[in-house]
Amino acid sequence: MLDSDTPVIGIQSGLDHTLALNSKSQIFSWGLAADEGRKPAAMAVCDARIKQVACGNAHSAVLDQEGNLYLWGANRKGQLGTGYPVPTMRYVEITRMSGSRSG
């Protein structure tokens, strides 16, 4: 659960869901696909230190400190970059992309 002792450093909303990132690099989700629905619930996306969150209509992405991208969700139009339009609730990792900067 989000608490007042740990500041939120990033927040993004999609069509039917929201992601929040706190200063401890923890991710919280609520909305249509979240386990708790209307209450922010902690998510275990990966073991990396997350620095940014993003939401699309029905997919989500997080960026870690090393520049790696983790995506999950509907993927109806290839939003996850996997090469095939199959939805996944388990993240897909895209390792540091050429030309990306972490910092």
Cβ(45)–Cβ(58) below 8 Å: no
Query: Per the structure block, which two tokens stand in for 101?
Result: 């900067």
Closest CA to 52 of 70, 64, 44: 64
**Residue 18 is encoded by which pair of tokens?**
């929201």
Strand 17-22 to 8-13 pairing: antiparallel
Every domain of the chain and the residues it spans: 8-94
Averaged over successive runs of 10 residues, the pLDDT of the chain (103 residues) comes to: 85 92 91 68 80 92 90 85 80 65 50
Which pLDDT score, from 0 to 100, does residue 9 have? Answer: 93
pLDDT of residue 96: 60
Looking at residue 73, what is its pLDDT?
A: 86
Can you give the pLDDT at residue 19? 93
Whole-number pLDDT of residue 54? 94
Q: Which pLDDT belongs to residue 79?
A: 84
